[in-house]
Structure 1
Amino acid sequence: MKRLILLVIVITSLPLAIAAQTTQEDVSEIMKTLSADEMKGRKVFTPHIEEAADFIAEKFSEFGLQTLDEEDDYLQEFHMESISLENSRITVDGKALDTDNFFVLASNRNIRWSENAQTDVKSIPTGADFRSEFSNLNQLEEDLIVFVDPTHSDMFQRYRPYFSRPNRSFSGESQHDKVFIMAEEPENFSISLDKNVEQLTLANVAGKIEGKRKDEIVLFSAHYDHIGVVQPVEGDSIANGANDNASGTTAVIELAGYFSQQPQPERTLLFVAFTAEEAGGYGSKYFSRQLHPDNIVAMFNIEMIGKPFTGKPNSAWITGFEKSSFGKLLQKSTEGMDYTFLPDPYPNQNLFYRSDNATLARLGVPAHSISTTPIDVDPDYHRVTDEIETVDLQHITDTINAIARAAEGIISGEHTPTRVDRSMVN
Structure 2
Amino acid sequence: MKKGSVLLFFFLGLFVHAQEKPMFDQQEVVRIETELASDKMEGRAIFTAGIDSASVFIEREFKNIGLTYFKDLKTYRQEFVAKGKNANNVIGIVPGKSKPNEYVIFSAHYDHLGLAESGTDKIYNGANDDASGTTAVIALAKYFKELNQNERTLIFVAFTGEEVGGFGASYFSKNIDAKTVVAMFNIEMIGTESKWGKNSAYITGFEKSDFGTILQKNLANSNFSFNADPYPQEQLFYRSDNARLAALGVPAHTISTSKMDVEPNYHKLSDAVSTLDLANMTEIIEAIAISSQSIVNGKDTPSRVK
- Structure-to-structure mapping, 1:351-370, within 5 angstroms: 351-370=236-255
2:187 maps to 1:302 = yes
Which of 70, 93, 104 in structure 2 is aligned with 1:208? 93
Equivalent residues, number? 291
How many angstroms apart in 2 are the aligned matches of 1:296 and 1:226?
Answer: 27
Structure 2: runs of 5+ lacking an equivalent: none
Q: How far apart are residue 283 of structure 1 and its match?
A: 0.2
Which of 226, 230, 238 in structure 1 is aligned with 2:116? 230
2:291 maps to 1:406 = yes
- Structure-to-structure mapping, 1:39-118, within 5 angstroms: 39-80=41-82, 82=83
Q: How far apart are residue 65 of structure 1 and its match?
A: 0.4
User: Residue 324 of structure 1 aligns with which residue?
Assistant: 209
- Structure-to-structure mapping, 1:326-345, within 5 angstroms: 326-345=211-230
Q: Which amino acid aligns with 1:297?
A: V
- Report the TM-score, using the length of structure 2 for normalisation: 0.92
User: Is the Cα–Cα contact under 8 Å of residues 149 and 297 in structure 2 kept in the other structure?
Assistant: no
User: Is the Cα–Cα contact under 8 Å of residues 210 and 264 in structure 1 kept in the other structure?
Assistant: no
Q: How far apart are residue 397 of structure 1 and its match?
A: 0.4
Deviation string 1:30-84 (CA, Å, 9 cap, x unpaired) is 011100011110000101101100100000000110001210000000113x3xx
Q: How far apart are residue 289 of structure 1 and its match?
A: 1.0
- Structure-to-structure mapping, 1:357-396, within 5 angstroms: 357-396=242-281
Distance 1:54 1:78, change over 3 A: same
Q: What is the SS of the residue equivalent to 1:41?
A: helix
User: Is the Cα–Cα contact under 8 Å of residues 329 and 417 in structure 1 kept in the other structure?
Assistant: yes
User: Residue 172 of structure 2 aligns with which residue?
Assistant: 287
- Report the TM-score, using the length of structure 1 for normalisation: 0.66
How many angstroms apart in 2 are the aligned matches of 1:400 and 1:27?
Answer: 9
How many angstroms apart in 2 are the aligned matches of 1:310 and 1:340?
Answer: 12
User: Residue 221 of structure 1 aligns with which residue?
Assistant: 107
Deviation string 1:381-400 (CA, Å, 9 cap, x unpaired) is 11110000011111110000
Deviation string 1:362-398 (CA, Å, 9 cap, x unpaired) is 0000000000111211110111100000111111100
Q: What is the SS of the residue equivalent to 2:222?
A: coil
Q: How far apart are residue 338 of structure 1 and its match?
A: 1.1
Q: How far apart are residue 264 of structure 1 and its match?
A: 4.0
Q: What is the SS of the residue equivalent to 2:44?
A: coil
**CA RMSD between the two structures:** 1.7
Runs of 4+ deviating beyond 4 Å: none
How many angstroms apart in 1 are the aligned matches of 2:305 and 2:215?
Answer: 16
Q: How far apart are residue 230 of structure 1 and its match?
A: 1.4
How many angstroms apart in 1 are the aligned matches of 2:268 and 2:117?
Answer: 9
Identity %: 49
Deviation string 1:326-363 (CA, Å, 9 cap, x unpaired) is 00000000011111100000001100000000000000
Q: What is the SS of the residue equivalent to 2:255?
A: strand
Which of 15, 27, 30 in structure 2 is aligned with 1:28? 30
Q: Which of the pair has more CA radius of gyration? A: 1
Higher strand share: 1
- Structure-to-structure mapping, 1:4-19, within 5 angstroms: none
